[in-house]
Amino acid sequence: MTGAAVPPATPAVTPAGAATRRAVTGMLHSWDLSTGVDGPGTRFVAFLAGCPLRCLYCHNPDTWHMRDGRRTSADEIVREAAKYTRFIHTAGGGATISGGEPLLQPVLTGELLHRFKTELGLHTALDTSGYLGDRATDALLADTDLVLLDIKSWDRTLYHHLTGRKLAPTLDFARRLADLGKEVWVRFVLVPHLTDAAENVEGIAAFAASLGNVGRVDVLPFHRLGAAKWRALGLDFTLADTPAPTADQTAAARAVFTAHGLHAV
């Protein structure tokens, strides 16, 4: 008489897994370890493929389309991150979901945030433009310790010129994060003769200060390091002749945020 069959182990049920009732997969562009630019400390960063924005200064146009990635399971990404958890914990870091735009793939993003946090014990961050903020469920945000929110312009017309999209969804998402008390780091790219107008910087600074949950503002000087990718993809990089801001120009922009009581770097 043979023994009874042993049932297979039941995988842990995550919010995303419960919703899909199958292994969660999505399109991953790449992953990397970074320090100081994708949240606090050294971080495992998963770059998801696909983005609805077409920013004129984008340094990763190779992440715009879902086809730019490869079909990957959440299991595979978590296993990769797990290799570095001891080092990440020692370095006071965590894990960040970036892109592209991670909220274009909210199920994969939610699954990764949940598992990074609960299985690996990592501080979690979501790097987003906020344009698809309404796709972020309350469960996804509950598993997010920090939101890196790109506010590219305060001027609505300029925002559309920069990205091809509307500003309002980003502001709505920012207000929702404030209502939830979720920590936010605002990121703003300073582009000479484009985003550096005094009223534009002042508008973003005043809005960020009004939220009450912005722990830091990153004023990021424009650069042309992605120009080669644009050329390789046959795209016209219209900012090819735009200079990087000077140290004084960058300091002046940071001073505007500081004047509103914000920590600007």
The pLDDT tens digits for 162-208 are 999 999 999 999 999 999 999 999 999 999 999 999 999 999 999 99
Question: pTM for the full model?
Answer: 0.91
Whether 8 shows a pLDDT value over 50: the answer reads no
Tell which wins on pLDDT, 92 or 225.
Answer: 92
Give the pLDDT confidence score for residue 2 in this predicted structure.
39
Give the pLDDT confidence score for residue 37 in this predicted structure.
85
CA distance 43 to 33: 6
Give the pLDDT confidence score for residue 28 in this predicted structure.
98
The pLDDT tens digits for 100-116 are 999 999 999 999 999 99
Give the pLDDT confidence score for residue 13 in this predicted structure.
54
Instruction: Give the C-alpha distances (Å, rounded to integers) separating 201 from 9, 29, 170, 207.
Output: 55, 32, 16, 10
Block residue for tokens 């009874």: 4
Mean pLDDT for 57-82 is 95
CA distance 129 to 161: 15
CA distance 117 to 79: 14
Give the pLDDT confidence score for residue 1 in this predicted structure.
37
The per-residue pLDDT of the chain, averaged, comes to 93
Closest Cα partner for 33 from 74, 90, 72, 71?
A: 90
Mean pLDDT for 223-251 is 95
Instruction: Pull the structure tokens for residue 214.
Output: 């912005």
